[in-house]
Structure 1
């Protein structure tokens, strides 16, 4: 695999093999010397909540902002609380135009506004993700077997 991933681009992958694709990109980028972080969003939401409670949220954001490539897997698989939406915006905004974001989700991109919840924050998040987008929507499992 020979992909040069500019450090300021975003990528979206949804449906089948999204996890595999995200892991492959992270693995390759790490071998190229980029710092990478793979987040399953349910675990990140727990980590984020603990950081808010312990006063370590600013440090957590700082760590995520310094990583060259951040993969967010399973985005919006469950309804997002207001705080989770605002935190997601902060993470995406911190990286916008500076560092890469790869988002993998089972939810089609067209349904993300609804899944994120708040229309204003959803638009702000999506605007930043789509600004420098490389998009890969793979076939559904049923279509892949056909």
Structure 2
């Protein structure tokens, strides 16, 4: 229904059920509040830029051994966002790291938090071009104002010294101001090889690991993507 249609429906309900003036006003206010919440949720979902729709409804805990139902329920409470925690999801490709991170991000949006999802490569591009490309500048400002930043595929490839410095400055600026989810198929101990500067890597990890939880996905597990892959023939 469009907004006028909904209002006409409320008026008909009020007439048929004999609502009092106060009951009518209460229904109108509830309707307006629900409309605003829906509009805000749509805006936050758009800003999050999730690559695809992934929720807890289609996340099967039995497919992985990284966390159990009790731990997942703790994460769903989202207190760790308020405390600016870092969740590091570590494990092989296709283990379910990205799905869990997007599901948590979507859940956070539904609760009114501003979330940004970005791959490590996309983030590097934004950091390098934000001074002279307006789209990168807009995206960068939205990331900075987020309550939760999800960085996918951290240290998937080797980065140059300039990129490493930009990433350090990014973490430094947001330290103690926002929560992070980082997914990676490399452990934090290996990140120095990809940034090329052990000292810089130590400084980054010092901030990220100050308040953190490392969720390790089984290295021996089969890829969930391959298990449920679709084929033409």
Which has the larger Rg?
A: 2
The aligned runs of 1:1-146 (5 Å cut-off) are 1=73, 2-4=76-78, 5-7=80-82, 8-15=84-91, 16-54=95-133, 61-140=140-219, 142-143=220-221
Q: State the distance in 1 between where 2:119 and 2:206 align.
A: 22
Q: State the distance in 2 between where 1:92 and 1:41 align.
A: 13
Task: Give the strand-richer structure, 1 or 2.
Answer: 1
Could you give the per-residue CA deviations for residues 16-73 of structure 1, whole angstroms, max 9, x where no partner exists? 2111121111111111111000011122222333224548877665432211000111
Aligned to 1:93, the other structure's residue is in SS state helix
Please report the TM-score for the alignment, with normalisation by the length of structure 2. 0.56
Q: State the distance in 2 between where 1:97 and 1:48 align.
A: 20
Cα distance 1:64–1:50, how it changes in 2: closer, same or farther (>3 A)? same
How many aligned positions are there?
Answer: 144
Q: Is the 8 A contact 2:89 2:216 kept in 1?
A: yes
Q: Taking CA–CA contacts closer than 8 Å with sequence separation of 6 or more, which of the two structures ends up with the larger relative contact order?
A: 1
Residue range with higher mean Cα deviation, 94-103 or 124-133: 94-103
Task: Give the helix-richer structure, 1 or 2.
Answer: 2
Q: Is the 8 A contact 1:64 1:91 kept in 2?
A: no
Flag structure 1 segments of 5+ consecutive residues without an equivalent: none
Please report the TM-score for the alignment, with normalisation by the length of structure 1. 0.85
Q: Is the 8 A contact 2:130 2:140 kept in 1?
A: no
Aligned to 1:71, the other structure's residue is in SS state strand
Flag structure 2 segments of 5+ consecutive residues without an equivalent: 1-72, 224-233
Q: Is the 8 A contact 1:10 1:101 kept in 2?
A: yes
Residue range with higher mean Cα deviation, 107-116 or 17-26: 107-116
Cα distance 1:144–1:54, how it changes in 2: closer, same or farther (>3 A)? closer
Cα RMSD for the two superposed structures? 2.3
Aligned to 2:130, the other structure's residue is in SS state helix
